[in-house]
């Protein structure tokens, strides 16, 4: 198996809370400069920035996973990773149709369970975002991790990894990842997951999150 450095939670300028510097060209250049080989573009309730990053990465950039960060009705943040832009766009349309507030940070009318089901319906992988944080996480909003929600992974923030919070969630048996959740260029790569896979592809990412066929995810 090969090992790939992955940052699976990066925002572009299309997230209203992100720096306007987070353009596609800069994101790809920064990933290359920092040796990040796999990235996931996950803007709030939109995939508007994904296509530009995919195009910018064609020549010599990282492998790009089309993604989205969905705010559920409970104000839980969930990351959806997809195998292609078309599936990501289809999921995003369903999310936007149910957003209760007229801006990208608004909560969807979709419950947590409905959100995870939506991601899976379009062939995606559902990861609970920054589960160790006191805001917008499953832990903060619900007070517990629902055993009936089929998450494909749990994301620990970079700060949480440094503080040893990964141990708090290891007993769930769900694969743990760490990402930067970067909203500005200097944040990229502050949270990294090492993906042990045969190559950079969505099918390999699925196997790694599932811990299948020798693939796996490793965090510090």
Distance CA 113, CA 92 (A): 16
Query: Quick one: tokens of 4?
Result: 């790939």
65: nearest Cα among 165, 190, 208, 161: 208
Task: Give domain 2-218's CATH architecture.
Answer: Alpha-Beta Barrel (3.20)
Q: What is the pLDDT of residues 125-180, one digit of tens each?
A: 999 999 999 999 999 999 999 999 999 999 999 999 999 999 999 999 999 999 99
Please report which confidence band the pLDDT of residue 197 belongs to, taking 50, 70 and 90 as the band edges: very high
Question: pLDDT tens digits for 31-74?
Answer: 999 999 999 999 999 999 999 999 999 988 999 999 999 999 99
Residue 63 phi, psi (nearest 5): -75, 130
Beta strands per DSSP E along the chain? 2-10, 38-44, 63-71, 77-81, 125-128, 153-157, 176-179, 193-197, 216-218
The most confident of 22-26, 94-98, 107-111, by mean pLDDT = 22-26
Q: How far apart are CA 40 and CA 79, in angstroms?
A: 10
Choice among 10-14, 101-105, 148-152 with the minimum mean pLDDT:
101-105
pLDDT of 65: 98
CA-CA distance, 42 to 50, in Å (whole number)? 8
- The dihedral built from the CA positions of residue 87, 173, 197 and 48, taken in this order, carries a sign that is positive
């Amino acid at each position: 198996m090969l090992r790939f450095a992955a940052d699976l939670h990066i925002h572009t300028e299309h997230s209203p809370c992100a720096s306007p510097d987070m353009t596609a060209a800069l994101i790809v250049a920064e990933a290359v400069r920092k040796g990040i080989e796999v990235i996931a573009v996950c803007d709030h309730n939109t995939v508007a920035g994904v296509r530009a990053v995919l195009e910018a990465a064609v020549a010599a950039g990282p492998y790009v996973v089309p993604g989205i960060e969905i705010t559920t009705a409970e104000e839980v943040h969930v990351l959806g990773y997809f195998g292609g832009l078309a599936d990501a766009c289809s999921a995003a349309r369903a999310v936007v149709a149910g957003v209760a507030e007229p801006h990208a940070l608004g909560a969807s009318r979709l419950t947590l369970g409905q959100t995870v089901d939506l991601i899976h319906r379009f062939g995606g992988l559902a990861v609970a975002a920054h589960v160790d944080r006191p805001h917008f996480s499953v832990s903060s909003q619900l007070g517990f991790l629902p055993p009936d929600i089929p998450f494909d992974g749990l994301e620990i923030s970079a700060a949480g990894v440094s503080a040893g919070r990964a141990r708090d969630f290891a007993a769930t048996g769900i694969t743990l990842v760490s990402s930067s959740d970067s909203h500005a260029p200097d944040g990229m790569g502050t949270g990294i997951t090492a993906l042990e896979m045969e190559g950079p592809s969505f099918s390999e990412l699925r196997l790694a999150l599932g811990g299948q066929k020798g693939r796996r995810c490793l965090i510090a």
